[in-house]
Amino acid sequence: GAKGQKDLWKTVNEHSLPARGFNLRKYKKRQQQHKGVDSRGRDIGEYTAKEWGIRQEKRVTLSCLQLQSQRFRELRDRQKRGFVDYQTGDQVLVTDSEYTEEKQRRREMERLSRELYGAERMARQGKLALDPEWDDVVPIVMEDPENALAAIAYSPDYAEAMSYLRAVMSAKEYSPRSLKLTEYIINLNPAHYTVWLFRAANIFAMKLPIPDEITWLNQIALENLKNYQIWHHRNLLVEHYHPSIASDPPALASFATSEREFLTQILAEDTKNYHVWSYRSWMVGKLGVWGNPEELRSTEELIEQDVRNNSAWSHRFYLVFSDPENCTPGEKYAATEADPKVPGEIVDREVAYAEEKIRLAPQNQSGWNYLRGVLVKGGRGLSSVREFAEEFVKGLGEGEEGEEVRSSHALDLLAEVYKELGERERADLCLRRLMEKWDRIRGGYWQWRREGLELAEVAA
């Protein structure tokens, strides 16, 4: 535009640049003398007068931009040295707008250089190399060994970013620009565990607000559902943040609620995400929300949506039977062992809940496994649910037409119930029918169970 042309010629005049009018005689002489090619591989000696003039104008423009960039570097150097403007008496400062102008200037310089001299003669300038904020950093480039068998084909942007990351990590630089660099690399490769660790170190060193980082992290997690590093980073953040709210019940409750709301949001996208459930279990213990009715209700909602959601069933079992109010402290009793401290009313409630959900999908193993776990934890025998299990098995051994089995899992449970009651023949019948008809794909397993019954009888 007109302003750009005005600034261009102002710079030309100030620095006495050799920008002269076009001379046809000199052009022809240079045309004869010149040897070389342009960025497209064309011999410059074959240029027309008009093409030569355009090229010269680009060279003048590039020279002007280089001078302006040099002036910017000098100004920034004066700022670093603490110089004072002798006219105003104020300390020399580089404004944000001047930084922005320099970024734009460097991009234009790169474009002109590539147009004039080509990619072969000019190394590509990456985003960070063109950013004046990184001028003082010498990137540490990772070179693959000569004749490497499987050199990784990093993208130019990623390779450049990692070279700068190595430099700031080596210098242990914890700063806003280092934090910004980690965000840039995470956008390029969210699975890079090292950059996540360095980001956490920056957050902690600069004492930045943890809730702000978690808000930023939420969006990254929604965009990368299967990424483990995100959840490890969240774990570190909560570990660091927890001491500051541990003695403030309202703040702790508010934070736990916000975490639960986000976990509900992300589980709506991927209900069986292992990393999310693993973090959720850890969070319950860390924030001490065992008895929170909202946490238990959330498992009910997920099971209501999908009664086959093993993760939701497992989390419910953890909530109920690892609650310090309902279990023996420490690790005295394993998850598969009876705990005398578990209240009877809790066992009754969970048995009723499991039975209700089993009736919705009798062939779903999740509910049956949960029912077994509840009975074991509550110290009750499997025979206590005999009548319930028999609802799903009718006319066993009475022929193809008379036999009705709505759940092979009920038949499996009844085999153990009858064994517990000493009714070996009925237990064997259950296992035999599983082997012969109702679960033939695991016939070998059921036969092994039958042999176990025989051995137990002999031993008795």
Query: Is 407 within 8 Å of 395 (Cβ atoms)?
Result: no
The confidence score (pLDDT) of residue 25 equals 56
Q: Can you list the residues of the chain whose pLDDT is less than 70?
A: 1-37, 39, 117-125, 144-145, 148, 458-460
Q: What is the DSSP letter of 250?
A: H
Rounded to the nearest 10°, the torsion over CA 78, 103, 6, 15 is 40
DSSP state, 122? S
Could you tell me the pTM of the whole model? 0.74
Q: Alpha-carbon distance 245 to 252, whole Å?
A: 6
Determine the Cα–Cα distance for residues 384 and 348; give it in Å rounded to an integer.
11
Angle at 60 between CA 55 and CA 63, to 5 degrees: 125
CA distances from 447 to 414, 434, 451, 454 (A): 16, 9, 6, 11
Instruction: Tell me which residue of 356, 344, 304 sits closest to 296, measured CA to CA.
Output: 304
On the 0-12 / 13-18 / 19+ scale of CB atoms within 10 A, 178 is buried
Please report the pLDDT score of residue 12 as a whole number.
58
Cα end-to-end distance, the chain, whole Å: 101
Residue spans of the domains in the chain: they are 38-135, 137-142+153-208, 210-282, 290-380, 397-459
CB crowding 401-418: b at 16 or more within 10 Å, else e? eeeebebbbbbbbbbbbb
Predicted pLDDT of residue 124: 53
Tell me what pLDDT residue 102 has.
78
